[in-house]
A and B are shown apart, each in its own frame.
Chain A
Amino acid sequence: MENKIKVIVDLNIYPLEAIYGAAYVFVDKAYIFLDSKEEEKVEINFRAKEGTDFSTLEKIEGEFMNELLNYTLRLKLSETNKKIREYVVEQALFSALGREEGILKNNEEKFEFEDDPLGIAIPWEDKYGKK
C-alpha cells in the first residue's frame, strides 16, 4: 500500500487560513500538498516521510484534523471578539495618553519657560568655577 492519504475539506467549514495554520504545524511530520478541483473544496494530500509507516501517517492525519478544528475555532473566536479587543486596546491607549498629557500639563503649570529646574542654563564657570 502506498503511504498516501487524501482528505477533502469544505472551505465553508474550515477556512483556508486554518488549513495553512494546521499544515504549518505538520510539515515536519509528513509531506502535505494542497489542491482544489471543486469550488469551495480543498484536497489535503498527506504522504509519509521516509521511515513513517501507514498507521503512523493515519495518526498524523487524525492529529492534523484536530489541529484544523482547533485553528478554525481560534479564528472564529478571534473574529467574534475583534470588536471587544479593539475597544479594550483603544481604552488602554486612550487612558495612557490621557495620563501622559496630565503629567505634561502639570509640569507646564509648575514651570515658566524661563525657569531652569535642572540648572542647565547656568554657565560651566559659574557652576564649577574656573580651572
Chain B
Amino acid sequence: MEIKFNKKLYPESAIKLAIEAYAALAEFALVPDEKYFLVSLKNIDPEIESIIIDEFSNYVLSQVKYAD
C-alpha cells in the first residue's frame, strides 16, 4: 500500500510525527520524489487494514499544525 502526500501541502515533519504514532500498527517507509512524499505501508495490523490509509492520512493532516 502506498500514500502520496503532496509536498506543497503536507510538511515532512507532520508525516514523520504520524509515522511515529502509527509505528505499532504497520511498517512505514517514507521516500520523497519530486512532487510527493511517498509513504509505503507493510505488515499492517489486519484489524485495521481497511481503514489505515484514511486514518493515517487524517492523522497527518491533524499534525500539520504541530509541524515545523
On A, residues with C-beta under 8 Å from B are: 16, 20, 23-24, 27, 31-36, 42, 47, 49-50
Are A20 and B57 CB-contacts (below 8 A) given A36-B8, A36-B9? no
Most chain B C-beta atoms within 10 Å of own C-beta, residue among A16, A24, A34, A50? A34
Of A32, A36, A49, A50, the contact of B61 (CB 8 Å cutoff) = A32
Cβ contact within 8 Å between B9 and A31: no
Cβ contact within 8 Å between A34 and B61: yes
Cβ contact within 8 Å between A34 and B10: yes
Of A20, A31, A35, A49, the contact of B64 (CB 8 Å cutoff) = A20
- B6 interface residue (CB < 8 Å to A): yes
Nearest A residue to B36, CB-CB: A35
Apart from A34-B6, A34-B9, what 19 extra A-B contacts exist at CB < 8 Å? Answer: A20-B61, A23-B61, A24-B62, A24-B65, A27-B59, A27-B61, A31-B54, A31-B57, A32-B57, A32-B61, A33-B54, A33-B61, A35-B4, A35-B6, A36-B6, A36-B8, A42-B9, A47-B54, A50-B51
